[in-house]
Structure 1
Amino acid sequence: MTNFKITIAYNGAAYHGWQRQNNALAIQQVLEEAILELTGQTVTVNGCSRTDAGVHAREFCASCLIDSTITCRGIVFGLNSKLPDDISVLSCEKAPLDFHARYMCNGKEYEYIVHNSEIKNPFYKDTAYRSWYPIDEKKLDKAAQDFVGTHDFKAMCSTDCTKENTVRTIFSFNVRREGELVIFTVAGDGFLYNMVRIMVGTLIFINEGKLAEDSIPAILASKDRTKAGKTVPPQGLYLNKVYYDKGSEQDE
């Protein structure tokens, strides 16, 4: 039995998130079916995160146990020959039998992309959120620093969030512009349900004058979701990087 750590990328527009569901197509189901077709084995693939419907990933880590002599190279090229074009296996390596992609993950980086233009661009239809209101990225970069550190983020998660512990640590939060795109990049030890999308929505409200520039500390202290900004749509969100402790995997 071999435990494989598989890194994939995907465009999530056609999928109802990562986690397998009974009434909608999810990335996990597609990947597990491709592994069955490749190896003849029914396996459970453990993902590093439960991305929502429409959310994308540039680097998503998954782990699964396979009783086969197949190599890592065989996993990469075999799965890529069977997966649809909007899902790609980037790499594969052998991991200790107790490695779990979700439980051993100690940090993630997300990007949220806003197409800041009055004119829509068809190529950003499912890959960015369009906001016509001019964005002052320097002002928002400064405001975003109030998220950095260890805080209770109860005000920045969906009311559907079931986590009892809502304290998380944000390592960095930066806002930059690349032409018509404004990119919000946030890294932390963990994220609550819709947390990134609400943090970005709060910054958007600050940009539009609906919230004061220095309002984030008070919103966090309130632990009240209604005090924060909107939940921006999923199509602009990307899981960008996933972090693990050094030594949690072994070389092939």
Structure 2
Amino acid sequence: MKKNVKLIIEYDGSNYSGWQKQKHSITVQQKIEEAICEVTKTDTEIIGCSRTDAGVHARSFVANFITESSVPPSKFKYAINSKLPKDIVIKKSSEVSLDFHARFHSKGKKYVYTILNREEPPTIDRNVMYHFNKYLDVDDMKEASKYFIGAHEFDSFYKKSGSSVKSTLRTIYYCDVTKCEDVIKFTVIGEGFLYNMVRIMAGTLIEAGIGRIKPEDIKSIILAKDRERAGRSLPPQGLCLQEVLY
């Protein structure tokens, strides 16, 4: 009998060319599908909630797959983990309705971009944060982030060369910037995101943090629909998919 198994996955994306399977690159999806194949002895395609880029991490990535295996859904976690490399882990496996789709049923995603703001570069956490050695005004960054909230056409925050979409209209539900000691976190929750959008948003907030733009300039940057007006796309290692909303 067919079963739909939902997976909650955590991974360090440092060694992978993103989530989605590619012909000549190693990806997270590929590794998990190979592990499932070893467990079930059947080629299986898994559906991911998103397509994280190369080097991006995830705390609670959601995926699902259809199987006729006799393995109890709650036990798949242990069986698959025994076949996975140490930088990918299944945190939970459970049975869901056959019509559940990890991507199409998602109502939103929560991303966190982490910046180490001090003179010295990171050592232990170098693969999970971006180092910026000049002083950043967190209050200005926090104020600037509020202008992202709402429904906007995010052309200025979209790398067009890597993707084509019918619409750049996206809704941001929540945005904030916090600091604890030397670590700054930019947290954003939205219904969906364009290619490189969060990393470009983070890069633009750095422009506000160093005083190159005023916080309220975010409004005109959005309205300009011009990629040249926004900040640069920050490196992938600072970005983590924290949660998927259903």
TM range (shorter): over 0.9
Amino acid at match of 2:113: Y
Normalized against structure 2, the TM-score is what?
A: 0.97
Alpha-carbon contact 1:5-1:61 (below 8 Å) kept: yes
1:168-194 CA distance string (max 9 Å, x none): 110010100111110000001000000
2:184 to 182, 185, 194: 182
Amino acid at match of 2:52: T
Alpha-carbon contact 2:3-2:98 (below 8 Å) kept: yes
Within a 5 Å distance, the mapping from 1:186-197 to structure 2 comes to: 186-197=188-199
Where does residue 121 of structure 1 map in the other structure? 122
Matched residues in 1 for 2:239 and 2:94: separation?
27
User: Does 2:164 match 1:162?
Assistant: yes
Alpha-carbon contact 2:74-2:95 (below 8 Å) kept: no
User: Does 2:237 match 1:239?
Assistant: no
1:91-140 CA distance string (max 9 Å, x none): 11111111111111110000000011110121122110000011221221
Amino acid at match of 1:168: R
Shift of 1:27: 0.2
1:173-231 CA distance string (max 9 Å, x none): 01001111100000010000000000010000111222222111101111111100010
Where does residue 219 of structure 2 map in the other structure? 217
Matched residues in 2 for 1:207 and 1:197: separation?
15
1:142-190 CA distance string (max 9 Å, x none): 1100000111111111122301211011001010011111000000100
Shift of 1:58: 0.4
Matched residues in 2 for 1:121 and 1:154: separation?
33
Identity over aligned pairs, percent: 40
Where does residue 51 of structure 2 map in the other structure? 50
Out of 183-192 and 134-143, give the one that drifted further: 134-143
Aligned residues: 244
SS of 1:75's equivalent in the other structure is helix
Out of 27-36 and 158-167, give the one that drifted further: 158-167
Alpha-carbon contact 1:2-1:67 (below 8 Å) kept: yes
Where does residue 60 of structure 2 map in the other structure? 59
Alpha-carbon contact 1:148-1:173 (below 8 Å) kept: yes
Matched residues in 1 for 2:92 and 2:140: separation?
38
Is there any run of 5+ residues in structure 1 with no aligned partner, and where?
245-252
Amino acid at match of 1:186: V
Shift of 1:12: 0.3
SS of 1:124's equivalent in the other structure is coil
Matched residues in 1 for 2:211 and 2:24: separation?
41
Moved over 4 A (4+): none
Where does residue 132 of structure 1 map in the other structure? 133
SS of 1:230's equivalent in the other structure is coil
Is there any run of 5+ residues in structure 2 with no aligned partner, and where?
none
Matched residues in 2 for 1:155 and 1:74: separation?
45
Out of 36-45 and 68-77, give the one that drifted further: 68-77
Out of 1-10 and 119-128, give the one that drifted further: 119-128
Normalized against structure 1, the TM-score is what?
A: 0.95
Where does residue 5 of structure 1 map in the other structure? 6
Shift of 1:5: 0.8
Matched residues in 2 for 1:170 and 1:191: separation?
9
Alpha-carbon contact 1:115-1:124 (below 8 Å) kept: no
Matched residues in 2 for 1:40 and 1:224: separation?
50
Q: C-alpha root-mean-square deviation of aligned residues, in Å?
A: 0.9
Matched residues in 1 for 2:117 and 2:125: separation?
11
SS of 2:124's equivalent in the other structure is helix
Matched residues in 1 for 2:140 and 2:155: separation?
24
